[in-house]
Amino acid sequence: QPEEAEPMTEAQPFEELIKLQSVNDTHYQWDVPDAWQQGRGAFGGLVLAATVSALEAAHGAHDPADRTLRTLTSMLCGPVYPVRSDFELEHVREGSNTSTWHARQRQLDDGEVKSETIALFASDRAEDATWDELQVPQVTSWQDLPPIPIAPPLAPAFSQHMEYRTDDAIPMMMQKEVHTTHGWVRHKNPPARANLAYIAMLMDAWWPCALLTSTRPRPVATVSFTMQFLLDPARIDTTRPLCYRAAMPICVRGYGVEFRELWTPEGELVALNQQ
């Protein structure tokens, strides 16, 4: 039986945050919520969640129903401000088992392109081609860790809407010598049922490994984001957090590569991310 979760604090429901207005079946608009900033623009995970929602809506209107989103690559070109944003979707190709889509996001106040995304939807392939050699994170259970009071002004605005639990280092509070991090994360008012947009948002909600060895605040931004969705969202209980693990083994002239994972409390791998 799922463990009993602590009561949620007040936060705007996740579904409302990424609610889209349909112009047509390949064109959607999104009112970017305020108080979700990470620096000048909206938190990248929320932008990616809205992008996933737009891609799934367009895919659902055109492609076979047995194809689900497997991977996406997004270039986050510029800050997304709390005004109306516009997604234009292009059906690039439909194959025998795969469908490829392109999403371009602009903001209507200045017309600037804010993100470019390529996504692949695909049906299942061979049943015997299944394995997982990644080691399940050996971390303290989330029930044994109290939520960490992370919020502005010491953290980005969006962090007030998230719940974090960890026994690892915290930026500017505890330092470590290696660029790794782990813990548990969820939105304070998650959807009743998990979806791929929610998974994309959680994947980007944790602090970068680079901040754990720094002795001073520094700006950090994601410029490219690639993600593989590996678990059926129906298997995820949104009343419980997901386990997050990441490492940034290299940084060259201010550009680092970070590898991220999300796991269920039962040890099922949810998704992988490189950014």
Inform me whether the pLDDT recorded for 249 exceeds 50.
Answer: yes
Inform me whether the pLDDT recorded for 81 exceeds 50.
Answer: yes
Q: What interhelical angle do 196-203 and 44-62 show, nearest 10?
A: 160
User: Contact 256/250 with Cβ under 8 angstroms?
Assistant: yes
Rounded mean pLDDT, 155-181: 89
Distance CA 166, CA 149 (A): 11
pLDDT of residue 10: 64
Give the range among 21-35, 55-69, 116-130 with minimum mean pLDDT: 116-130
> What's the per-residue H, E or C state across 209-231?
HHHHCCCCCCCCCCCEEEEEECC
Q: At 225, phi and psi to the nearest 5? A: -145, 120
pLDDT of residue 175: 72
Rounded mean pLDDT, 70-78: 97
Helix %, strand %, coil % of the chain (to 5): 15, 35, 50
Put residue 55 in one of left, alpha, beta given phi > 0 → left and psi -120 to 50 → alpha: alpha
Residue 103's pLDDT band, with cuts at 50, 70 and 90, is very high
pLDDT of residue 51: 98
pLDDT of residue 1: 41
Residue labelled with tokens 């790794």: 180
Distance CA 41, CA 107 (A): 12
What percent of the chain has a predicted confidence (pLDDT) above 70?
A: 96
pLDDT of residue 6: 45
Rounded mean pLDDT, 152-158: 89
Q: Prior bond to 2 cis, omega within 30? A: no
Distance CA 221, CA 225 (A): 11
Distance CA 236, CA 270 (A): 9
